[in-house]
Structure 1
Amino acid sequence: MSTTLVLLLLLDNGGALTLQNGDHELAVNSLAVVVVVVVAVVLVVFYKKAVSLVPLGPISGSLAAGPGLPAGFPRAVDSPLVWEGAQFENEKEYVLHMHEADVEEANNALRCFKEFGRQGYEVSRDTFPLPNLGKRLEALKLEIHQGRGFGVVRGLHPEKYSVEDLSMLQLGLQCYIANRHGRQDRKGNMMVHIIADDSSAAAAGHHRHSTNPITFHNEEAGDVVSWMTRSTAASGGRCIIASCYTVYNVLAQDRPDLLRVLAGADWPFALPQFQSRPILFHHEGRLMMNFGRTPLIGNQTHPRCESLPSLSERQLEALDAVEKIARATELAITTKPGDLHFINNLAVLHRRQGFVDGAAAAEKRHLVRMRLRDDQLGWALPDELRNEWYQAFDEHRRSKVWHLVPMPPGYYPLRAQPN
């Protein structure tokens, strides 16, 4: 027999109230009606007010922070950005393979662009038309900004192109993912060449020129980090990524106290300039993470000024926890020459496997990195990150320099840039 009670409120013409439960009726005077209605209205108003305080956005989180969580942060996030590397056993899930017709379409767009004598910074969907491939790239754009947060475009063969043409293909394809390019240092370098370089101690110890492994981090600026692989190392050098959202959920369940540490405003970043700010943000309904160990701890190439604050034991513990969880859930991507990688720099961490170059040019690791932002799908930024984005993407104040090939260290201010 069901224990469910069905209550019906029946108001007759005389103002009497009848509560009906099945075959039983109970008469109640009209005063009770007023009390019930008033209470109901108050509850509805309170409920609507409470719901209106919940931030709307792509994250489906709890209405209230759990014990120990930073104020305003959800107990857990439910998003396509929550993933583990084991989910992507088949690379077809994240690699956009350019078919022969796609490559020919890209080559035609390149010829069209060159015939009009345009400069690289003028590349756009209008000047680099891809009527068919562009639709697939548009789907990837949504994945980068609103989906899993990463993807690879594969199918170009670098040996078939000049350096100039290969660079233009990189710019042409990535303009379908994001329409703005960011400066990567104070000299306005738009393209950074990631190669092994032991010509000086400063170069050999820098992230972009070292052959050593690098821990998980984000770039200092850019919603999207993109790089083309011109050639791969003889061994090692794989790109390895992990979801910030997965890291968050694990910590929210097991160590919410460390999330409070990560969201604290007292992280003493030394590079590119000193700033105390959080590592972890919850802004307009989105989780974001932005950090690197070098700006916080220093290294031989970037010695930390003794006058700057050092990290506390709790902060070091939080960094180690992020690294541990990221490594346990990471995805290692085997890169091929011509691959064009895209990762959401605010939601996906990346690191590099150590590598060994070979004697032949084709066995020397060479990536060309760019930082991107899209006017249509770019994320709203917390105040603490806006200055770095402004320095990178302001269109009116600063020059832009496009080096299509690696240049001597003097062309890049290595000591001022951690990545």
Structure 2
Amino acid sequence: MSAIISGPLVAATAPITGTVAPSLPALPSGFPSHLASKLAWTGASLASSSDYILHLTEDEVAEINAAVVHFKTLDLDGNQVGPANFPLPNLAVKLGQVCRDVHHGKGFSVIRGLNPASYSVEDHSLIYLGLTSYIAEQRGRQDKRGNMLVHIVADNSTKLAAEHHRHSTKSITFHNEEAGDIVSWQTRSTAASGGKCIIASAHTIYNVLAATRPDVVRTLARSDWPFALPRFQCRPVLFFQDNNLIINFGRAALIGNEAHPRSKNLPSVTSRQMEALDAIESMARATEMHIQTQAGDIHFINNLAVLHRREGFVDGPTERRHLVRMRLRSAQHGWTIPAALENEWERAFKQQGTKHWHLEPMPDFFFPLRSQPN
């Protein structure tokens, strides 16, 4: 791979105020030479956890518990929970700030301070739905069967399951989810070791590439990337829409893996495209941020602007990593979705059909593991 940066990393990742050298190729039409945004951060620049973690006080936990009791008197289904019937009169102010920060600030946040052992599975799930409704009220389907809650747990019962991101214990590369402005997950329990959430800013990556490798930016913005999942489509990886930089990709969808073997009938990524993928991964790892997840944590990540990956982990006899994931969108704060991504957002948030809210991990029939493009 050609060099992406030269000189010390700190110089490469600092805000770039100069102009692109005349000898470098031009950026794609409409793309800026630099993004001056709160979304352009590095792990080193966010040294304090107070920058991104909302630590709940005892009074705020009590307010949440009272909201659970109130909602259960209304005889409503859990998927109907929202601010109107899950009242948090004091905590709502802080949750509003989390909402703004995820959509228009750093692009991620963590709510911490809930103890899963203090709640039944039903009540813990209700709290998750209630708190997320203050951040983004629309909940998206996560697969063609209409599963709304996806359980991420280790499963080596079959080779296919063991290699799938959802059930593997291996580390995975940086990526975005197929759809959803916000990706959220609730940590019910953690592994014996490993399994940290690791994120990186697409804005920081873009700023470095725009200044040093605009040809890579041009490659990422081309419409010839052969995505195979969830169905075959040629589209860009990188977009600039309504003054927002948007990134959406996953290696499995582009090059396949053991869980998702790529059909030989589909076009392969070019050497130039592979170089661009490696450039993203290299710069993301150089600027990434690690979050040591605790049981009870609720994470929010701007899926349009922040990449995420997971380190490998090991479960123990009693310590078992278990996350519950949702895809979210806010009618008020949601970004404009590029036309090339609209179909996936339509299927997730607008498609009619059955919706399943499984509170515990279910067999693969309910959470299908794709072995071929569909």
Write the letter of the residue equivalent to 1:167. S
Among 321, 324, 327, the alignment partner of 1:365 is: 321
Provide, for residues 169-196 of structure 1, a one-character-per-residue CA deviation record: whole Å limited to 9, x for no partner: 0000000000100000000000000000
Provide, for residues 196-238 of structure 1, a one-character-per-residue CA deviation record: whole Å limited to 9, x for no partner: 0001111111001000000000000000000000000000000
Q: Distance in 1 between matches of 2:18 and 2:228?
A: 35
- Per the alignment, residue 177 of structure 1 pairs with 135
Write the letter of the residue equivalent to 1:181. R
Write the letter of the residue equivalent to 2:353. R
Among 104, 118, 123, the alignment partner of 1:146 is: 104
Q: Is the 8 A contact 1:202 1:415 kept in 2?
A: no
Q: Is the 8 A contact 1:196 1:204 kept in 2?
A: yes
Q: Is the 8 A contact 1:232 1:364 kept in 2?
A: yes
- Per the alignment, residue 255 of structure 2 pairs with 297
Q: Distance in 2 between matches of 1:145 and 1:99?
A: 24
Whether 1:256 and 2:214 are equivalent positions in the alignment is yes
Deviation at 1:331, TM superposition (A): 0.3
Q: Is the 8 A contact 2:28 2:218 kept in 1?
A: yes
Among 372, 376, 380, the alignment partner of 2:332 is: 376
Instruction: Report SS of the residue matched to 1:371.
Output: strand
Decide whether aligned partners of structure 1 residues 134 and 310 sit closer, same or farther in structure 2, where only a CA change above 3 A counts: same
CA RMSD of aligned residues (A): 1.7
Whether 1:325 and 2:283 are equivalent positions in the alignment is yes
Q: Distance in 1 between matches of 2:103 and 2:299?
A: 14
Instruction: Report SS of the residue matched to 2:103.
Output: helix
Task: Decide which moves more: 341-350 or 405-414.
Answer: 405-414
- Per the alignment, residue 25 of structure 1 pairs with none
- Asked which structure has the greater CA Rg, the reply is 1
Instruction: Report SS of the residue matched to 2:246.
Output: strand
Q: Distance in 2 between matches of 1:365 and 1:271?
A: 26
Deviation at 1:63, TM superposition (A): 11
Deviation at 1:300, TM superposition (A): 1.0
Q: Is the 8 A contact 1:272 1:417 kept in 2?
A: no
Instruction: Report SS of the residue matched to 2:206.
Output: helix
Q: Distance in 1 between matches of 2:93 and 2:251?
A: 38
Q: Distance in 2 between matches of 1:387 and 1:289?
A: 16
Q: Distance in 2 between matches of 1:196 and 1:294?
A: 19
Structure-to-structure mapping, 1:218-367, within 5 angstroms: 218-360=176-318, 363-367=319-323
Q: Distance in 2 between matches of 1:204 and 1:238?
A: 19
Q: Is the 8 A contact 1:62 1:75 kept in 2?
A: no
Q: Distance in 1 between matches of 2:106 and 2:291?
A: 15
- Per the alignment, residue 110 of structure 1 pairs with 68
Q: Distance in 2 between matches of 1:144 and 1:71?
A: 28
Among 336, 354, 360, the alignment partner of 1:399 is: 354
- Per the alignment, residue 48 of structure 1 pairs with none
Instruction: Report SS of the residue matched to 1:409.
Output: coil
Whether 1:133 and 2:91 are equivalent positions in the alignment is yes
Q: Distance in 1 between matches of 2:262 and 2:256?
A: 5
Decide whether aligned partners of structure 1 residues 384 and 65 sit closer, same or farther in structure 2, where only a CA change above 3 A counts: farther
Q: Distance in 1 between matches of 2:325 and 2:332?
A: 22
Q: Is the 8 A contact 2:199 2:309 kept in 1?
A: yes
Decide whether aligned partners of structure 1 residues 65 and 343 sit closer, same or farther in structure 2, where only a CA change above 3 A counts: farther
Q: Distance in 2 between matches of 1:384 and 1:62?
A: 32
Deviation at 1:65, TM superposition (A): 12
Write the letter of the residue equivalent to 1:129. P
- Per the alignment, residue 20 of structure 1 pairs with none
Q: Distance in 2 between matches of 1:175 and 1:222?
A: 14
Decide whether aligned partners of structure 1 residues 142 and 417 sit closer, same or farther in structure 2, where only a CA change above 3 A counts: farther
Q: Is the 8 A contact 2:147 2:358 kept in 1?
A: yes
Q: TM-score when scaled to structure 1?
A: 0.83
Which has the higher relative contact order, 1 or 2, with Cα contacts under 8 A spaced 6 or more apart? 2
Q: Distance in 2 between matches of 1:102 and 1:108?
A: 10
Deviation at 1:264, TM superposition (A): 0.5
Q: Distance in 2 between matches of 1:340 and 1:279?
A: 28
Q: Distance in 1 between matches of 2:325 and 2:105?
A: 22
Alignment gaps of 5+ in structure 1: 1-60
Q: TM-score when scaled to structure 2?
A: 0.93
**What is the count of residue pairs matched by the alignment?**
355
Instruction: Report SS of the residue matched to 1:176.
Output: coil
Write the letter of the residue equivalent to 1:263. A
Q: Is the 8 A contact 1:271 1:416 kept in 2?
A: no
Instruction: Report SS of the residue matched to 1:377.
Output: coil
Decide whether aligned partners of structure 1 residues 122 and 324 sit closer, same or farther in structure 2, where only a CA change above 3 A counts: same
Q: Distance in 2 between matches of 1:373 and 1:386?
A: 13
Q: Is the 8 A contact 1:272 1:416 kept in 2?
A: no
Alignment gaps of 5+ in structure 2: 1-16
Deviation at 1:62, TM superposition (A): 11
- Per the alignment, residue 14 of structure 2 pairs with none
Instruction: Report SS of the residue matched to 2:365.
Output: helix
